[in-house]
Amino acid sequence: MNSDDPGVLVRAAASGDETAWAALVERFSGLVWSVARAHNLSNADAEEVFQTTWLRLTEHVGRLKEPDRVGAWLATTARNESLKTIRAGRRATPTDDLETLDVPSPDATPEALAVAAEEATAAADRLQRVWDAFQLLPQRCRELLRVLIAVPPLPYNEIAAMFGIAVGSIGPTRGRCLRQLRDLLGEA
């Protein structure tokens, strides 16, 4: 078994090879953890996302369409699980800290409140436009950009192995993906 080839590891793990599972976990744990932590989750929530992501892989390991891209699959799954955790937390996080609530200052003028509301709306609209454009990018671009913003950053040799490209191709590929995103946003 070639432990450098993620596709070989995935197929072996799907067949029940515990050594292959251990190699997958060793190779991609940092990625999964960094994606969870990039969403500013608490340690407990990040650990839950980490475990859930690996559980999802055990559930789907035999059905991955592109076993060689298991790293990108794990990053996407960790991101989705992180977003689920964030949404669930928003519904259930009680607070008594008035600063975290959007309670206007008693000194705020109606004009200042209107300007603040307009700025918040513009920021939310801009964020939604970027997200909508991002969703229109090819899947490979979305996955690469997600991995490239992971905290802590992954070494380029791991990213290259994950996507099956040369280390020297990462920067130009990122540039093309970002150019596509700018084009979708209609920015020069």
Query: 107 in a domain, yes or no?
Result: no
Query: 102 in a domain, yes or no?
Result: no
Q: Between vectors from CA 149 to CA 46 and to CA 121, what angle results, nearest 5°?
A: 85
User: How many domains would you assign to the chain?
Assistant: 1
Question: Residue 50: is it exposed, middle or buried by C-beta count within 10 angstroms (0-12/13-18/19+)?
Answer: buried
Query: 145 in a domain, yes or no?
Result: yes
Query: 1 in a domain, yes or no?
Result: no
Note down the domain range covering 154: 6-95+138-185
Query: 125 in a domain, yes or no?
Result: no
Per-residue pLDDT of the chain (188 residues; tens, 9 = 90+): 556 788 899 999 999 999 999 999 988 988 899 888 888 888 899 999 999 999 999 999 999 899 989 988 999 999 999 988 888 876 554 555 545 555 566 677 877 777 777 888 888 888 888 888 988 999 889 888 888 887 778 888 888 888 889 999 999 999 999 999 999 998 74
Query: 167 in a domain, yes or no?
Result: yes
Query: 122 in a domain, yes or no?
Result: no
Distance between CA atoms of residues 9 and 19, nearest Å: 9
Tell me if the pTM is above 0.85: no
Query: 110 in a domain, yes or no?
Result: no
Q: Any idea what the CATH number is for the domain that residue 146 is in?
A: 1.10.1740.10
